[in-house]
């Protein structure tokens, strides 16, 4: 009922502005107010506001007001001609919004549904491999055990899998590789290696192929590098005591007048490093 009252008030003001000498400055504001009202076909028929606006349009001289009036009347004619598009729009929007809400609820319910816990089955039944996994678990499990993204059992399985993948069998090379991982992970003087593996800084694939030098603690690496440097310096300075040979060819001057020394710079089971100096041009190089 309030909508009809508002329309009647606007109609009266527009009728008063229809005179030639009347002030029509507020006409556009009144028409805009009409446009914003929820006018239905029933209200349009009762108030006959369309006729009022059309009559005012004919007497108005403002082009903007005339254009706005025509557009307003055109929209109302859609209701009169049975075009229910404007009236049905809110229902359509409500229906679409309801579908959207139902879709979102389904997505949320899927997110909230807990996934079933799946316990992994052992990847091998080989007795040797299972024994090696137990050995690696004992190396990873200590009193000051840190929590990582996986349990020590899972980490041990991954490490053993990576080692087995390289050798494809459980021969002596496989067992030696497992033992070396066990010794380094168990080493109380090198907790950093174990912690890095548990927290994921070192992957199982990386640890499976690391050399003894790479697995060593930072302190041991520093000491080893220092000893190697001192050995190399001593070898290069002691060229006078080296062995002269013509079997080696200088890559720089192509002469075969060289002096060489052999030094053990790596572990005992690795070959010695040979340091060579050309007696002609002074070029130095080394090879294993």
Is the domain of 211 the same as that of 135?
yes
pLDDT recorded at residue 101: 67
CATH code for the domain in which residue 272 is found: 2.20.25.10
Asked whether residue 26 falls in the same domain as residue 79, the answer is yes
For residues 144 and 68, state if they share a domain: no
265-269: list long-range contacts, CB under 8 Å, 24+ apart: 265/228, 265/231, 265/232, 266/213, 267/212, 267/213
pTM: 0.39
Is 119 a domain residue? no
Average pLDDT over residues 92-97: 63
Give per-residue pLDDT as tens, 207-243: 999 998 888 887 877 887 777 776 666 555 554 568 8
> Do 60 and 70 form a contact (C-beta atoms < 8 A)?
no
Report, as an integer, the average pLDDT of 12-25. Answer: 78
Q: Is residue 25 part of a domain?
A: yes
How many domains are contained in the chain? Answer: 3
Instruction: State whether 253 and 208 are in the same domain.
Output: no
> Do 135 and 211 fall into the same domain?
yes
112 is a domain residue = no
Same domain, yes or no: 207 and 144 = yes
Conformation bin of residue 282: beta by default, left when phi > 0, alpha when psi is -120 to 50: left
Beta bridge partners of 274: 262, 287
> What is the reported pLDDT for 86?
44
In terms of domains, do 210 and 133 share one?
yes
The answer for residues whose C-beta is within 8 angstroms of residue 106's C-beta and 6 or more apart is none
* Interval 25-34 mean pLDDT: 84
| pLDDT confidence tier of residue 161, bands split at 50, 70 and 90 | very high
Question: Would residue 111 count as lying in a domain?
Answer: no
pLDDT tens track for 241-265: 688 899 899 999 999 999 988 887 7
Say which range, 60-64, 228-232, 284-288, has the weakest mean pLDDT.
Answer: 228-232
Judge if 242 and 228 occupy the same domain: yes
Cα-atom radius of gyration of the chain, to the nearest Å? 46
Contacts of 142 (CB under 8 A, 6+ apart): 194
Q: Do 141 and 188 share a domain, yes or no? A: yes
pLDDT tier at 118 (50, 70, 90 boundaries)?
very low
Q: What integer pLDDT is reported at residue 84 of this predicted model?
A: 47
User: Which of 116-120, 180-184, 210-214 is predicted least confidently?
Assistant: 116-120
CA distance to 83, 141, 194, per residue, from 144 (Å): 79, 8, 11
- DSSP for 56-80, written as a single string: HHHH---HHHHHHHHHHHHHHHHHH
Residues 235 and 209 in one domain: no
Q: Which of 52, 83, 114 is the last residue of a domain?
A: 83
Final residue of a structural domain among 83, 116, 135: 83
For the chain, the average pLDDT equals 79
Residue 40 has pLDDT above 80, yes or no: yes
Query: Any idea which of 22-31, 59-68, 101-110 has the lowest mean pLDDT?
Result: 101-110
CATH number for the domain that contains residue 11: 1.20.930.10
The pLDDT value recorded for residue 87 is 44
Sheet bearing 284-287, strands edge to edge: 243-245, 258-263, 273-278, 284-287
Range of the domain at 45: 2-83
Residue 120 tokens read as 């992994």
What percent of the chain has pLDDT above 70? Answer: 78
């Amino acid at each position: 009922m309030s909508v009809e009252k508002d329309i009647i008030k606007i109609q009266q003001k527009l009728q008063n502005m229809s005179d030639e000498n009347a002030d029509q400055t507020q006409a556009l504001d009144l028409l805009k107010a009409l446009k914003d009202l929820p006018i239905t076909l029933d209200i349009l028929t009762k108030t006959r506001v369309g006729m009022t606006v059309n009559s005012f349009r004919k007497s108005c001289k403002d082009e903007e007001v005339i254009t706005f009036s025509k557009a307003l009347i055109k929209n109302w004619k859609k209701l009169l001609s049975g075009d229910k598009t404007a009236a049905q729009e809110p229902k359509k929007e409500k229906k679409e919004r309801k579908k959207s809400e139902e879709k979102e609820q389904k997505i949320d319910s899927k997110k909230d549904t807990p996934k079933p816990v799946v316990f992994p089955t052992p990847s091998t039944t080989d007795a040797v491999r299972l024994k090696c996994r137990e050995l690696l678990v004992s190396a990873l499990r200590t009193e000051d055990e840190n929590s990582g993204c996986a349990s020590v059992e899972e980490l041990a399985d991954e490490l053993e899998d990576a080692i087995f993948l390289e050798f494809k069998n459980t021969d002596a090379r496989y067992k030696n590789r497992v033992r070396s991982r066990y010794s380094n992970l168990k080493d109380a003087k090198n907790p950093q290696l174990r912690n890095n593996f548990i927290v994921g800084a070192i992957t199982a694939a990386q640890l499976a192929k690391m050399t003894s030098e790479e697995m060593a603690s930072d302190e041991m690496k520093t000491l080893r590098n220092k000893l190697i440097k001192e050995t190399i310096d001593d070898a290069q300075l002691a060229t006078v005591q080296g062995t002269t040979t013509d079997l080696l060819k200088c890559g720089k001057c192509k002469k075969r007048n060289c002096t060489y020394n052999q030094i053990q710079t790596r572990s005992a089971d690795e070959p010695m490093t040979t340091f060579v100096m050309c007696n002609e041009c002074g070029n130095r190089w080394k090879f294993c």
